[in-house]
Structure 1
Amino acid sequence: MRDMGSSDDPRVQAQLDRLSGLSIQRNVLGLDAVRTLLSRLGDPHKRLPPVFHVAGTNGKGSTCAFMRAMLEAEGYRVHVTTSPHLVRYNERFRVAGKLIEDGRLAELLEEVFDAAEGLGCSFFEITIAAAFVEFARVPADACVVEVGLGGRLDATNVLEPDVLAACGIAALGIDHEKFLLAPEDGVPTEPIARIAFEKAGIAKKNVPLLSVSELSPESKQIQVSSASVGSLLFRINRDWHYSEIESGSYRDDQGTLTFPPLGLLGMHQMRNAALAIAMLRHQKRVSVSPEAIILGLQAARWPARLQPLANGPLVGTREVILDGGHNANAGAAISKAVDGPLHLVLGMLDNKDSRSFIGPFCDRIRTLTVVPVPNHDAHPASAFGADAKPAVSLEDALLNIPHDDCPILIAGSLYLAGEALRLNDEIPD
């Protein structure tokens, strides 16, 4: 499956084949197995550089990208683990600024697999354990860790207050309902409040917690969750502020920062940039200057987020924009960022709401072409209405789109985005 990816290195491929045999979408989430695994590995998660832990439905990866860029602009060595990868599994392990090399990755996975014997660990648990082992081994000044799914029961949530610099919650929305809205006693019943409850599960005692949510019931639930564990909640529009007027700005009691042109496109990225700044400015473990923050805002890069594709084997010389967005909130953000009529090429997993993403585009879609998502169960064209046309592949879809002045947007899944990057020879590094 694309979750594991493939490698030209036979040593890495052997470990990826082992990963492919694991339960990657088991019905029960929890921390017992990963805690036991980490204990067998010497508890590396307790020996990490200061960690910035980020959850959210939309924007958590972009927030991590901004934070990494700001920290690196200050001259720090930064470890980063994010998910999913787009083309190569190595993308999940950025060690002191560089993607992990194949040889070390093969050794690392073999070590973790051996320690996991008999535990029934999932794909993501193996991955996170491997990341923490490497991050504890290689010296660095900070870690940026993106939550995989939810927060409360996510494998990354083994992180303890002693290593945490700050926790952040990016924009919330309804997604991954099978897991995050599963019936359970003692949890909120309203869907968006339940989502907030799960995401706010990363809150820890005496650790700064920041969120972009300003509306009830999300904001109220985050306040309740924060108070229940004694985290240090810094609230938007009270302790820190941001504005999207003109070029955008950020303000707190340390002063005001006017945004330069951001390295990531779209007005919604101002919100993610502001969260990254707020996380850095409301913690005391790692010092970052205003100058480094500004440089980081400009330097941030994050593939498949409104990414203009370069001329290449897949797109030729046409204007093609790539985004992994697949839910209603993502559709709304992308529709604001891309002006005028467009051609939409969509591939969406069949466990997603087939119509919610395209709704915000209204009558701006000139053509809608639906493609498979390689190695995953995806919606057919019929799920998107009578005007949607099927294509057997991305190559087929682009060949049959009229040549006019309208841009082409490829969206609907990060797995599809990874396929587009691979076919266009734009491998993330």
Structure 2
Amino acid sequence: MRDSALEHFDALFGPEFGHGKALDLAPLRATLAALGNPQSKLPPIIHVAGTNGKGSTIAFMRAIAEAAGLRVHTYTKPHLFKLNERFVVSGAPASEEALILAAEHIAAISRDLTQFDAQVAAAFLLFSETPADLVLLETGMGGRDDSTNVVTPALSAITPIDLDHQDVLGATLTEIATHKAGIIKPNTPAIIARQPDEACDILVAHAAHVNAPLLQHGQDWDAYANAGRLVVQTETRALDLPLPALAGAHQIENAGLACAALMRWRPDLSHDAFAKGIADATWPARLQPLTRGALSAPIRAIGGEVWVDGGHNAHAGVALSYAMQDMKARRGGKNIAIVGLRKRKDATLFIAALARFADHIIAVPLADDHVSTNELAALGDKLGIDSTTAPSLAIAMQNAAQLPAPRVLICGSFVLAAEALAAENA
């Protein structure tokens, strides 16, 4: 599947990763100024940072806002199949042609940008040209020095913080949280999910330093499942909603954060809009079931089930572990993890998280640079999990089908998730 827009961005600005440039917002700010500062011509912005759950939280917020009749722009990452998935302009993905024109316009001003800088500038250009009521903006990495952090938001939201991108953001939660805290702006409300103590201390201190009203999960708002419903409470309002359409207990917190953020931004949004948005929100490759294609057919034929998730760090692995353990407790069967990881990810921590639920691990290669399958299998074996390798996802699925009624989770990378979804939909 050719991606003309991505090819254009690659040619004009180099690869998105591994470019070797320092985190520096000055080139982007100069380019945006030459473009007329489109980021200052946008509707209200909710800026979202965190380690995991950013995309799901935005998916819930978008669905709720659209159920209320609002027009919404979103910028998220990564994409699964084509670059234009990242750019939703008033409810519809930007065309490849529009992205190519935006890239050329930006490159004519400056090529001294990272590709992510250029993507963010393109998003601001496209959003500024089409009316909307709300922008939902996801950071790429970190927050303080992130390319998206050139805006003045109406509200900032921070999902759970954990270890990821340690090579850039730092090796400790304190260092990583310091980066994430940078999206909290002076005198601007910020809402945060439940955090590890070290991360929470940093966020609270930064909010106090910039005089930003801070709403903390468990203190100023709460979200929990009760009798098959989602309850979200703030100091001024309570919502009794359907459970999220997205699977996994971790989506309770993401949905709650979305609701609490929108209740703070627009207290007038109706209960019906929240209910419909939570029930209807979709976000691919987040514990997504595969139910109809040839890839999952061998598993389903023997009474098994197949799930796919792009999670690739320890925190995501723990969330997946809880979800898969819960499925096993309720429905029985063996849990099998089919795993592929990029080299820049922490394979040891991710496999350790999967070991909490997996009865068997099958390591597979990715289409680009990846941790060797032998290394992944060795990590699983070291933790006492029966671990093997397979030369491809298709063969891994055939191997998994040798076990009775297996529950298969394809995970570790959005590259692998995209391969699974493409094969399922072929």
Query: TM-score surpassing 0.5?
Result: yes
**Alignment check: 8 A CA contact 1:6 1:16 kept:** no
**Using the alignment, how far apart are the partners of 1:215 and 1:365 within structure 2?**
25
Letter in 2 for 1:21: G
Note the C-alpha offset of 1:244: 3.5
Specify the alignment match of 1:399 in structure 2: 398
**Using the alignment, how far apart are the partners of 1:225 and 1:258 within structure 2?**
32
The TM-score, its normalising length taken from structure 1, stands at 0.89
1:327 aligns with 2:313: yes
Please, which of 130, 141, 150 is the counterpart of residue 158 of structure 1? 150
Please, which of 187, 192, 209 is the counterpart of residue 206 of structure 1? 187
Note the C-alpha offset of 1:16: 4.2
Specify the alignment match of 1:149 in structure 2: 141
**Alignment check: 8 A CA contact 1:355 1:384 kept:** no
Please, which of 367, 382, 387 is the counterpart of residue 360 of structure 2? 367
Note the C-alpha offset of 1:361: 4.4
Specify the alignment match of 1:354 in structure 2: 347
Note the C-alpha offset of 1:224: 0.8
Note the C-alpha offset of 1:329: 1.6
Residue deviations 1:344-383, cap 9 Å, x none? 1100112222232233444743331111121223343333
Specify the alignment match of 1:68 in structure 2: 62
Specify the alignment match of 1:188 in structure 2: none
- Provide closer, same or farther for how the CA distance between residues 13 and 248 of structure 1 changes in structure 2, counting only shifts above 3 A: closer
Q: Which 5+ residue runs of structure 1 have no aligned equivalent?
A: 183-190
Q: Which has the higher contact order (CA 8 A, sep 6+)?
A: 1
Specify the alignment match of 1:419 in structure 2: 419
Letter in 2 for 1:389: T
**Alignment check: 8 A CA contact 1:45 1:133 kept:** yes
1:256 aligns with 2:238: yes
**Using the alignment, how far apart are the partners of 2:30 and 2:248 within structure 1?**
42
**Using the alignment, how far apart are the partners of 1:85 and 1:377 within structure 2?**
18
**Alignment check: 8 A CA contact 1:332 1:360 kept:** yes
Kindly report the root-mean-square deviation, in angstroms, between the aligned alpha carbons of the 2 structures: 2.0
SS of the residue aligned with 2:348?
coil
Residue deviations 1:127-156, cap 9 Å, x none? 110001000111111110011100010000
Letter in 2 for 1:264: L
1:176 aligns with 2:169: no
Residue deviations 1:324-347, cap 9 Å, x none? 112222122112212222121100
SS of the residue aligned with 1:368?
strand
Q: Which 5+ residue runs of structure 2 have no aligned equivalent?
A: 329-333
**Using the alignment, how far apart are the partners of 1:266 and 1:376 within structure 2?**
29
1:409 aligns with 2:409: yes
**Alignment check: 8 A CA contact 1:263 1:300 kept:** yes
Residue deviations 1:60-104, cap 9 Å, x none? 111111000010000111000101111111111111001112222
Letter in 1 for 2:151: L
**Using the alignment, how far apart are the partners of 1:19 and 1:311 within structure 2?**
40
Note the C-alpha offset of 1:402: 2.8
**Alignment check: 8 A CA contact 1:87 1:421 kept:** no
Within 5 Å, give how 1:102-251 maps onto structure 2. 102-117=96-111, 119=112, 121-160=113-152, 164-181=153-170, 191-246=172-227, 247-251=229-233
Specify the alignment match of 1:45 in structure 2: 39
SS of the residue aligned with 1:259?
strand
**Alignment check: 8 A CA contact 1:70 1:297 kept:** yes
Note the C-alpha offset of 1:425: 2.4
Note the C-alpha offset of 1:287: 4.3
- Provide closer, same or farther for how the CA distance between residues 298 and 209 of structure 1 changes in structure 2, counting only shifts above 3 A: same
Segment drifting more, 239-248 vs 81-90: 239-248
Specify the alignment match of 2:261 in structure 1: 279
Note the C-alpha offset of 1:20: 6.9
Note the C-alpha offset of 1:408: 1.0
Segment drifting more, 97-106 vs 406-415: 97-106
Letter in 2 for 1:370: A
- Provide closer, same or farther for how the CA distance between residues 421 and 115 of structure 1 changes in structure 2, counting only shifts above 3 A: farther
**Using the alignment, how far apart are the partners of 1:233 and 1:13 within structure 2?**
38
Residue deviations 1:39-79, cap 9 Å, x none? 12111001111111100001111111100001000011100
SS of the residue aligned with 1:157?
coil
**Alignment check: 8 A CA contact 2:13 2:118 kept:** no
SS of the residue aligned with 1:143?
strand
- Provide closer, same or farther for how the CA distance between residues 181 and 17 of structure 1 changes in structure 2, counting only shifts above 3 A: closer
Specify the alignment match of 2:331 in structure 1: none
**Alignment check: 8 A CA contact 2:245 2:280 kept:** yes
Note the C-alpha offset of 1:14: 5.0
**Using the alignment, how far apart are the partners of 1:422 and 1:141 within structure 2?**
33
- Provide closer, same or farther for how the CA distance between residues 344 and 22 of structure 1 changes in structure 2, counting only shifts above 3 A: closer
1:99 aligns with 2:89: no
Letter in 2 for 1:268: H
Specify the alignment match of 1:186 in structure 2: none
**Using the alignment, how far apart are the partners of 1:383 and 1:213 within structure 2?**
31
**Using the alignment, how far apart are the partners of 1:238 and 1:232 within structure 2?**
13
Q: Count the aligned residue pairs.
A: 405
